Amino acid sequence: MAAKAAQRPPVSKPVLVLNGPNLNMLGKRQPEIYGHETLADVEAACRAEAVRLGLGVEFAQSNHEGVLVDRIQAAREGNSGIVINAGAYTHTSVALLDALNAAELPTVEVHLSNIYKRERFRHHSYISPAAVGVIAGLGTQGYLLALQALARLLAR
């Protein structure tokens, strides 16, 4: 399958990998839950996987809901798909859901931890209805799986 992906022309618009609040603290914040890899490590792995898949990738992170909404809105014209780890905004933000719906792009929701093994309030995601799929509990590998899923969707 890797050879097949390498033969495919790259998607013209990059995939946006968007990270929400506190993900800039990866590797420092609760490593027993979120692991020891940093956000820079995640970005490097995503860039390498995107090359392998023939995708361009843009990487962004913000602790501010409005900044994330603005970036999703811009993705409508500038990106081919979205990988989003909205952090705590997953469980609170109708604004992110509305932005994702308005973007009309294939979106994969990612969570480092298994949100269903955690506090009850984390069991509900406001953004899942806008996603083609959700990957939770597989650590940073979830980002790579999300890129693989989008590569297949975008190749159709």
Catalytic residue list? 34, 111
Pairing of strands 107-111, 133-136: parallel
Q: Say which DSSP state 11 is in.
A: P
Instruction: Please measure the distance between the N-terminal and C-terminal CA atoms of the chain and give it in whole angstroms.
Output: 15
Any idea which residue has 């962004």 for tokens? 60
Smallest CA-to-CA distance from 93 within 116, 119, 73, 64 is with 64
Number of other residues whose CB lies within 10 A of the CB of residue 73: 15
Contacts of residue 139, Cβ cutoff 8 Å, sequence gap at least 6: 35, 37, 112
